[in-house]
A and B are shown apart, each in its own frame.
Chain A
């Protein structure tokens, strides 16, 4: 028995070391650049570290104002110690996600072992998360959802453990509270998961009702700063959810109008209302978006189409997973473990917030489903292993198939994405800032085309003093048609929307440096520097009127 336990621990250690090597190595280089959302958190963490205020001058904010949106603050606060130790750079920004990504792998092992009482399934679940393209992509970038998943999973684990050790219910509520501070979607998912757990363990909770009540009180205290901020600024709770919701999108309304028009003027209004009403049309749209997350093409073939969450030419899961997910799901539904309902509910609830938005299917908003998916795969493999006649052969085939799949993923992630699709991650701003910092002494002003919030790159890579920036920033706090708020300038930098070479070529100011998109045609004699993507395409062009 002791030998068996040591073997399990050794295998778990191997998985952790392997996952750490994948998640921690070359963090600064892959993905090829910090995305605007990542860099924004990084600079705000730096600002809070230096001044105890964010870039807007708000003291220890409970929600961070960011490009017209409100970002949950926990991921930013978690960056502070790393920035303090390693300085303001890509690694410090991405380390919290990478470390908690490894944490979810360990947590998954213990949670699955607890819920399904199987070391094999627990180890397999941990292993498949370790090699999951979806999980690796999110672990290596600071996109909030990794932090949120860790705290949600920790909350579930502690809740389940509290049945034996009631004091842990407090830690569970703390963890659920922290998940709410990590990602918007959790403001829908966490309460639903918590309600599901309370319903599931309602008979056990009666025996430690006092601890439970105290945990609720602690949870309330944790959320108090958020409520307080909500009173001042109602948008902090759901941020830009309004502008990404299905009700904001005009598609359904236009179709409704088209159908009512087709009904004709002779059609009684009651008929049009009966057939083309909002409840039916939006209800159908929401269900369609919910079910779009189970489309095989999205899962196994093309993945998420939104650039920062896209791995070229592959899905969010491996193609081989399709067999094991199917087998695992059937086996899971058949099994008599009551705890299976926890995993199934967790799985289904993960898709709720995404279904209410018009950008679907979305791998980012449904990231919480990664753990249940991997549990289904593990159960599927375990089932097929049990049924297999020649187990060694089966292990050989599975190892071969997954080695190939993982190798393909590594190629797509570390080569194709970084070299051929560096624009997905806003590559080039670092190089622009480096160049301008070296040459800007000669110029009085730097005018930058406002493509993808460049101001934050100048702040971050220039390590611009947050005290100074809070005083100097010129911003109107007016949203554009997409809900984004822009910074017009600070110091000698000016950020101009919709500005092209053609507009400016006859009106160039002296001692001024200009930055435009690489797609612009700039006269050769004026062009000082071209920043290229790794595949040779032009990313940005810098020019001046000497």
Chain B
């Protein structure tokens, strides 16, 4: 049995079938990729698995627990962290607070502790501070801890998002286009960070990418999606040479 399993997931937006009979099985520590042309339904699949939408059919099992109808916060708490394609950072919070926020469900001091500043709260906040700083060091931005995120350059904001997702202690980390909008230099740094995070923490990673180089370099197995259906699945090498994938990306070759 795999760590994360998705069985025959189908989702309709009204009359539009966005995802059809999608299945997935991720093992611990594996890096998987999901590629496909624009509008193929990649992000929808992410949103379905992480609970932002609930699938019309099919079910999702994480570590033996059916999480299909769970709310996003419950799913995140169970070990499914994610980043967003278009950064969703909080405008007025500092970098450190971003990372700490992702520890919300792990805090046990409760409202009483929040109101009265109990010793337990002080201890837990301190421990969370330390953990958040560790993660910021891991992604290489400990010096920005006190900054407000809106003041940061784009590459740093991406790192904040990654650190934040890591703070949920994910068993599977979902990265939605982690290198979108980055220049080649930032891209190389980001890939190095993802590799490092993977080797240090060792969680499974499931990532959406547009840039072939990133997917081909990082992933062990890749799924290719078109119009909400998986048209090919295999190793990077197999995907690269798959005629259907080439067709989906480049169009059909017409012989005149």
> Does A pair with B?
no
